[in-house]
Structure 1
């Protein structure tokens, strides 16, 4: 299994519209990438950092699961610009992305 992990950094100054993300962005991701082999999406919302009550490092960590990197790459080549363009609708954070293989 191949995973694209998208991490949305959290600072005192960043905004993250959780409702838009869950109700609009994630359905768009599913609609666009499922035909290319998207197997599932894992969502982790940051609650705190090392100390209770401190800011989490990330507002949201999202994992998009595919069987192969070819599936992922085909989907991103076709719809990546649209999906990345939608990020400005829910956050002003610059997301970090990494492609990994589940072991």
Structure 2
């Protein structure tokens, strides 16, 4: 019985150690990626259709990015960081890509299609920030 317990503890410890290492490697693997943040500022009278954005718009843009795309995320704004202050952004879509050059080459020819699709989910002009993940 003691041997079974000892072996179980060893296996459990090994699993936790492996999981921790995997998580660390994933985070370290993001350093150097290009992050494209598409932010939709909140303002009175502005609208945003999250369902359309999640199911149609973002997958369309992701398709244009092809193998350069590592992942994308979608965030729905809930509140300001300061109580009783207006929400700064209604939504933020983020693309993580390997190469800014490949990103620009993919977006350039599809720019009109991407912009034309805005009317299907929002009346907000997005603010776009392209940055490099440093940590």
Gaps of 5+ in 2: 1-32
CA distance in 2, matches of 1:51, 1:13: 21
Q: CA deviation at 1:55?
A: 3.4
Q: CA deviation at 1:56?
A: 1.4
Gaps of 5+ in 1: none
2:107 maps to which residue? Answer: 76
Higher helix share: 2
Q: Which has the larger radius of gyration?
A: 2
Q: CA deviation at 1:41?
A: 0.5
Alignment RMSD (CA, Å): 1.4
2:38 maps to which residue? Answer: 6
Which of 83, 86, 91 is the aligned partner of 2:122?
Answer: 91
CA distance in 1, matches of 2:116, 2:105: 18
CA distance in 1, matches of 2:96, 2:111: 15
**SS at 1:39's partner residue?**
strand
CA distance in 2, matches of 1:55, 1:39: 33
TM-score (norm 1): 0.88
Q: CA deviation at 1:90?
A: 0.4
1:24 lines up with 2:43 in the alignment: no
Q: Deviating runs (4+, > 6 A) in structure 1?
A: none
CA distance in 2, matches of 1:76, 1:27: 14
CA distance in 2, matches of 1:4, 1:84: 16
TM-score (norm 2): 0.69
Q: CA deviation at 1:32?
A: 1.7
* Structure with greater contact order relative to length (CA < 8 Å, sep ≥ 6): 1
Aligned length: 101
8 Å contact from structure 1 (residues 3, 101) kept in 2: yes
